[in-house]
Structure 1
Amino acid sequence: MERKSAAGSIRNKERSKKKFLDAVGKILRTKGYTALKVNSIAATAGVDKKMIYSYFGGIDGLIDEYIRSQDYWSRVTIEEIEKIKPKLDDGGKSFMEEMFLSQFDYVYTNKEAQKLLLWRLSEPRKALKKLTDTQEENGEYIFKLLMDPHFKDNAEDVRSIMAIMVSGLYYLNMYAAINGSIFCGIDINTPQGRDKIKKAVSFMLHHTYENL
C-alpha cells in the first residue's frame, strides 16, 4: 500500500507541475510575459500557489523550467546529438539541414516559442540569459564536432553564415505571425511560400559546403 501511495504522490506531483507549466504557456500566449505572476499562474493552473515554491523553488524556477522546455535550439542538447550520432563524412551538412528545417516549422507552429523569442528581445532576465548560454554551449559542441574539422580555416566564415540563417528563420516566422505574411513577395503563411523558404535554406547550406 505504501508503494502505491508513493507512486500516486509522484504522479500527482508530475500532473501538478505540468499544470503549472501549461499555465505559464497559456498566460504567455494570451497576455504576455508581464502577466506571469504567482497568483495568476496558480489560478490558471487550478493548483495552490504554495506548490510553485514546493516544486520549483519559486516563480523563477518555474519560469526557468518552462523556458527550457520551449526553445528549439536549447533542446538540441549535447546528449541528444550523441544519441543521433550525425554523419561525420559530410561535415554535418545533412544534420544541419534537418535542424534548420525543423526549427523553421517548430517556431511557426509553436505560438509560445514565438512569445518566448519576443520576451528574450524585450527584457533582461537570468533565465533568458541562461537559455542563451545553453544555446551557445550546444552550438559550440556542434561546430567543434562537425563543422570546424570540415571547414578548417573557413570555420569562422561558416559560423557567420549559420548565424544569419538561424536568425533569419526566427525573424521570418515572427514577422508572419505578428505583422503580416508577405515578405519579399513570399507568403510565409502558405505551404507554397514556406516550401520556397525551405528550398532556399537547402540551397544556401549546400552552396556553403560546396564553396568553402
Structure 2
Amino acid sequence: MENEPKKRKRTSGLLRDKERTKQKMIQSVGKILLKKGYTGLNATAVSKEAGVDKSLVYSYFGSLDNLVETYILQRDFLNAVAKDDLVVMLENTTAVPKEAIYGLLHNQLDTLLKDKVLQKIIHWELGENKTYLRNIADKREELGEAFFKVAEPTYDKANIDLRGILAVLISGVYYLVLHAKTNGSLFCGIDLNTPEGEQRIKDAITSIILMAHEKTTAS
C-alpha cells in the first residue's frame, strides 16, 4: 500500500485543461487575423477555429474584446517581445546607452518585417477606434515612461528632445514596414523588402541616435 501511486488531483487536471483551452482560443485570434483580417473576428469564428463552444469566449474571458486584447498583448513589441530586455536595461543602469536605444529600434524593425500578424495589428490600430486597442497603446506608454525616466535626463541637459526624436523614428518604422509589406513599392527609392534596404534604414536610425548622443557629450 505504501508504494501505491497517488491519484492525480482532478482539480489540477481541470485547471490545466482550462488553460490549454484558453491558449487555443487566444491562438485562434491570430489565425483569424491572418486568414480574414480584423473584420473577420467574432466569437463564432474564434470558437470554430479553436474547436470549442462559443460560450467559453465569455465564461473564460468575459468578452470577445478581452480575448482579443489578451492575444495582442502577447504579440505586441514593447509589451511582449522587448519587455524583458527593456526591464533589464532599466534595472541595471542609471542611463541608457546609445547602443541600447538604436538596438531597440533595430529589433522593432526586424520584428515588424517578419511578423505578419503584428503588421495587421498596427494597421488595425490606425484604422479602428477600439477600447482594447487604446488599452494596449496606454500600456506601451507606461513602459515608455519608465524608459524615458532613465534615458531622458542625459539628453535634456543638452536640450535634445529624445521623445520627439523617438516618436518620429518609431512611427517611421511603422509606416515604412506597412508601406513595404502592403504594396511592395519603394519609398524614397529604398526597397525595404531587400536586405540592402533594411540595412539602410537601420543605418539611418543609428546615425540619428548617434548625432543626438554626440550633442550630449559636447555640452
Q: Mark yes or no: TM-score above 0.5.
A: yes
Return the match for 2:18 from 13, 25, 39: 13
Tell me the distance in 2 between the aligned counterparts of 1:186 and 1:205.
20
Q: Deviations over 1:39-72 (max 9, x none)?
A: 0110011111122122211211101101211210
User: Is residue 203 of structure 1 aligned with residue 192 of structure 2?
Assistant: no
Return the match for 1:175 from 164, 179, 198: 179
User: Is residue 117 of structure 1 aligned with residue 98 of structure 2?
Assistant: no
Specify the alignment match of 1:193 in structure 2.
Answer: 197
Post-superposition offset of 1:6: 3.1
CA RMSD of superposed structures (Å): 2.1
Contact 2:180 2:192 in 1 (8 A): yes
Identify unmatched segments of 5+ residues in structure 2.
1-5
Specify the alignment match of 1:152 in structure 2.
Answer: 156
Tell me the distance in 2 between the aligned counterparts of 1:150 and 1:3.
57
Output the amino acid matched with 1:208: A
Specify the alignment match of 1:33 in structure 2.
Answer: 38
Post-superposition offset of 1:7: 3.3
Post-superposition offset of 1:16: 1.2
Post-superposition offset of 1:81: 3.2
Specify the alignment match of 1:143 in structure 2.
Answer: 148
Post-superposition offset of 1:3: 4.0
Worse overlay, 8-17 or 19-28: 8-17
Specify the alignment match of 2:66 in structure 1.
Answer: 61
Q: Percent identity?
A: 37
Instruction: Report the count of equivalent residues.
Output: 210
Greater C-alpha Rg: 2
Specify the alignment match of 1:108 in structure 2.
Answer: 113
Tell me the distance in 2 between the aligned counterparts of 1:87 and 1:198.
26
Output the amino acid matched with 1:15: R
Give the match's secondary structure for 1:148. Answer: helix
Change in CA separation of 1:187 and 1:87 when aligned onto 2, cut-off 3 Å: farther
Identify unmatched segments of 5+ residues in structure 1.
none
Worse overlay, 31-40 or 177-186: 177-186
Change in CA separation of 1:154 and 1:124 when aligned onto 2, cut-off 3 Å: farther
Post-superposition offset of 1:20: 0.9
